[in-house]
Amino acid sequence: MPRRLSLRQQEHPGPEYTRGPTISSEFYPDEATHVTQNRYVGGWHMRLQLGPLVDGDDPARRAALAELGRHPIRQLRLMTARNFVERLSAFTVMQNVENEIRLVMDRSPVRPWRRVLRSRTGEGVPAAPSYLPQANEVARRFAESVGGRPLNLLLESVGGKSITAHVLGGAAMGADASGGVIDTDHQVFGHPGLVVVDGAAIPAHVGVNPSLTITAMAERFAARYRARRAAQPDQTSTIGAS
């Protein structure tokens, strides 16, 4: 679910809009694509992750590095912009198409003596894209409407990596241990009292921001858990959630 961002040029944007729900609006630019506009409330590190908006399926042909080389002062101004968080709008763009990213334990590219969680292309399914033309079009139109600058995440435009804000799967719900990790009560098969209640329980992407799906499943778990505890007051559980 690649994200596109826009930074308004005004150093003093006026009313304070950084407080409140993270997702402020949502829409479908086409039947397969869902977009949410988000208030960004993260830290300073986002300054280092943004760069020029460029097009193209092949990262080697997107010319993001060339664009950075032609306009280094523009990039420096972006990284040092005043009121950065207040001026930034983030778009989360998701599609209900078949692709996959796997997470595996592998050697760290920075500290190869350590094993860390890394992403890999899924086996037998298309790779998750690092470029969505619909996302770039949304960023361009929004930036034009507010007098801002459309941006890409550099890991997408330069590195060709698909960036997601919602990692799903890993402890999927199933009928038994051969088809999943947890049962319909979110309890891990073979480990009574150990439950998983977060996005790991969702076996595949849902084509839209999964926050409400995760919340609904968590509320369902809580209701069923309370009923079980009332019936068996001595039962204890260890709950895993993100």
> Which are the catalytic amino acids?
166
Q: Is 91:138 a contact under the CB 8 Å cutoff?
A: yes
For Cα atoms 49, 51, 52, give the angle at the middle one, nearest 5 degrees. Answer: 160
CA distance 174 to 189: 9
With b for 16 or more beta-carbon neighbours within 10 A and e for fewer, the 152-183 pattern comes to bbbebbbebbbbbebbbbebbbeeeeeebbbe
> Among residues 93, 98, 96, 2, which one has the least CA distance to residue 49?
2
